[in-house]
Amino acid sequence: MNIEYNSNREKTILFTVPSECDKIDAKTFLRRHCNISARTLSKLKRTKLGITRNNELLKTTDILNVGDVVMIAMPDDVNEIKQVQGELDILFEDEYVMVVNKPSMMPVHPTKIHQEDTLANIVAYYMHKKGEHYTFRAINRLDRDTSGCLLIAKDRYTAHSLPASVTKEYVAVCEGVISGSGTVIKPIKVMEGRSIQRVVADDGAHSVTHYYPVSVSNNHTLTRFVLETGRTHQIRCHMSSIGHPLAGDDMYGGSLKFISRQALHCHKIGFIHPITKEQIQIVSDMPYDILSVLKTSGT
């Protein structure tokens, strides 16, 4: 399937119907073969010339023929996030996606108590200065205190296509000596009476964390993590449950002696580019405050 993507004020995507899709209806083609979400397809149907075939209006019930060129005009995005000038550490960017290195102590999205000091605010300012127009769509989520790679999609199609291919690798400094690799398979749920804190519980959501110790320094272990599931606070909760809380993570039993936030960093993110189909991997070096834990504790 050949895809062209013209990035102007209004983005359009062109799909050429391959032989294996001959004589199927447009809805099936767009949903199953082009990965257009049901929500986007609904918007396109209400948009004038939202879906065309060979430059003529196409209904989702129309039958396609091999070689037809189907074009969708992506609905305009409305960015309602306040623009705030700030530093943005961009690790990768093209007209479809952006990967930024999120600093610690910065929320990703605005909340009631964080209206103008989030990553979304800074990205809104950045894209406005570039003359780009897109809604802030973070594909992976990082806690306010957690630093590292954050993947952002610049349009609906990319946001819908990316998540299935995303892989992430974290690094953290755990308290105690971890002598070998292992896997924690323990269900996690919200702790009773708390809105944020998680706890291991039999009636929680299935959660799997793989951990790989990298180095040991004076009763601290630099550890690499790969997650099978993506639960909130998964690494923090799981490592605390086996007696190795993260340094600086006082919510889960970690000490604040060497660092004032959990020593957790999204070190690597990988994904298949939804347009070019290229396998992309982006790496973010560990920040100074996490490295200083190891140095302070004896590395």
Secondary structure element (H or E) that encloses residue 221, with its range: strand 220-227
Q: Are 214 and 223 in contact (CB under 8 A)?
A: yes
Would you state the structure tokens that stand for residue 48, as one six-digit string? Answer: 């004038």
Name the amino acid, one letter, at 91. Answer: L
- What HEC string does 66-92 produce? CCCEEEEECCCCCCCCCCCCCCCCEEE
- Helix (H) / strand (E) element for 150: namely strand 147-153
The one-letter code for the residue type at 229 is T
- Active-site residue identified among 76, 143, 145, 202: 143
CA-closest candidate to residue 207, choices 171, 236, 180? 236
Name the residue type at position 149.
Answer: C
Concerning whether 25 is annotated as a catalytic residue, the answer is no
Residues serving a catalytic function are 143
